[in-house]
Amino acid sequence: HAEFAVIGLGRFGSSLALTLVERGFHVLGIDRDQPIVQRLADKITQVVQLDSTDEEALTAVDITSFDTVVVAIGSNFEANLLTTVALKALKVERVICKALNERQRTILLRVGADRVILPEFEAGARLAQELAAPGMVDQIALGSEHSIIELRVPRSLVGQSIMEADLRRRFGITILAIKRNDILTVSPPPDYTLTNGDILAVIGENTCIARISALL
Amino acid sequence: HAEFAVIGLGRFGSSLALTLVERGFHVLGIDRDQPIVQRLADKITQVVQLDSTDEEALTAVDITSFDTVVVAIGSNFEANLLTTVALKALKVERVICKALNERQRTILLRVGADRVILPEFEAGARLAQELAAPGMVDQIALGSEHSIIELRVPRSLVGQSIMEADLRRRFGITILAIKRNDILTVSPPPDYTLTNGDILAVIGENTCIARISALL
Ligand SMILES: Nc1ncnc2c1ncn2[C@@H]1O[C@H](COP(=O)(O)OP(=O)(O)OP(=O)(O)O)[C@@H](O)[C@H]1O
Ligand SMILES: Nc1ncnc2c1ncn2[C@@H]1O[C@H](COP(=O)(O)OP(=O)(O)OP(=O)(O)O)[C@@H](O)[C@H]1O
């Protein structure tokens, strides 16, 4: 059963820790700021005040017993870097770091971070994808070549049956399921009539997916 | 054809603007800091230096001609708020704001922001979801009751045919597609043998999805 330690309980770190607790995981929260530790004390499994650049302090809380330690310190890069180096020296299995830019990411990976996240940049790119394809509700990549996307039925297809819409021939995509209000139809039949408000889950190669997005 | 203006070209704002430009959209970037404007001048369709709390300056760049304006100013809440108020007074159609906490979000919505994003909090929650279900590659919600999830085939199912795995009866989920290396099989047949490394795209009610996540 995985256990997590989160060092740095700012916006990113605290929401990470609280969400993991919500999911039933044991979380140790660490921050050097006493008011922050106090505020979260009864919301996270265990919260301690310590300076994470101090290897002895990390050892004292048995940091290596955690499968994953997240270093969620952004604006103090030196503390972030020293903490990451300390965690890897103590042989913590997986260390995930926040960073503020690519230069920091490169350095952290070089000193042994297993993964580095740039939350603000990723959030900006994510919002852009959403704004760029407003009819598209969501999408997941299936390998590097294919995607499943969820989209509102395009106006130009409303009233057509699946057979008439002819999506496989026109766009190379297959409708996996359709959600109409609360009813889900998996592998809908060819005579199913597409109705305004239907949510379609379709699968196809990424180039094909791009072409249907143009319909939206 | 939608056009976007992004006010505040920090990490969140700049990556939003650059990603929209990559997607072929016309973007106006605004920042009061000259070095930032200079650095992005040849990467964004159009970049201007101005103080976004100045309604006249906003009018001078024809801000109402943009369908969507994003206020990506975080640490200066007063500027964020005044800018949002100015944009709505000028009747900008859609205003999306960044905010640093729930209190700021409430205030911005109250003065007319159409949507408020908390990027660091959302990034923390998103990482938590990923860490919480490591066998699960990705997921999309299909309405409030169902999800499509992409998962690595659980070890306990390797070597079984789809019929033997009996996922619909055991877990209430349907396999929509399977990716093996670069081959995608949509609606795989009952005699398809699940192999180590296969990526499954399955659909089901959220409670059922939670139960198969326990297998991972
Ligand atoms: N050496 C350290 N040991 C423990 N905690 C630390 C240390 N340095 C910073 N912190 C804590 O990390 C938290 C987050 O740090 P900071 O605010 O610098 O990052 P941020 O990236 O701006 O945060 P946010 O996630 O809110 O965007 C703060 O609560 C701070 O007290
Ligand atoms: N009144 C203003 N008019 C125009 N630009 C502004 C104004 N106030 C702040 N900015 C710009 O907004 C940008 C982002 O602001 P700030 O750094 O405060 O936000 P942040 O949320 O910390 O950024 P990040 O997206 O990097 O996390 C900065 O480049 C700053 O110059």
SS (H, E, C) B139-160: EEEECCCEEEEEEECCHHHCCC
Question: CB–CB of A104/A132 below 8 Å?
Answer: no
Residue (of A12, A3, A4) closest to A80 by Cα position: A12
Name which residue sits closest to atom 19 of ligand 2, judged by CA. B74
Report CA-CA distances (Å) from A193 to A32, A165, A216, B96, B143: 60, 9, 18, 35, 19
Please tell me the predicted confidence (pLDDT) of residue A37.
Answer: 98
Please tell me the predicted confidence (pLDDT) of residue A1.
Answer: 66
Give the residue ranges of chain A where pLDDT is below 50: none
Question: CB–CB of A202/A173 below 8 Å?
Answer: yes
Predicted confidence pLDDT, tens digits, chain B (216 residues): 679 999 999 999 999 999 999 988 999 999 999 999 999 999 999 999 999 999 999 999 999 999 999 999 999 999 999 999 999 999 999 999 999 999 999 999 999 999 999 999 999 999 998 898 878 888 888 877 888 999 999 888 999 999 999 998 988 999 999 999 878 999 999 999 999 999 999 999 888 877 787 777
Neighbouring C-beta atoms of residue A5, cutoff 10 Å: 28
Question: CB–CB of B9/B31 below 8 Å?
Answer: yes
In chain A, residues with a C-beta closer than 8 Å to the C-beta of B184 are: 142-143, 145-146, 203
Round to the nearest angstrom and report the end-to-end CA distance of chain A. 44
In chain A, residues with a C-beta closer than 8 Å to the C-beta of B131 are: 2, 4, 20, 68
Question: CB–CB of A119/A137 below 8 Å?
Answer: no
Whether A183 has its CB under 8 Å from any CB of chain B: the answer is no
Interacting residues of A141 by C-beta distance below 8 A, sequence separation 6+: A147, B138
Q: How many helices (H) and strands (E) does chain B have?
A: 9, 11
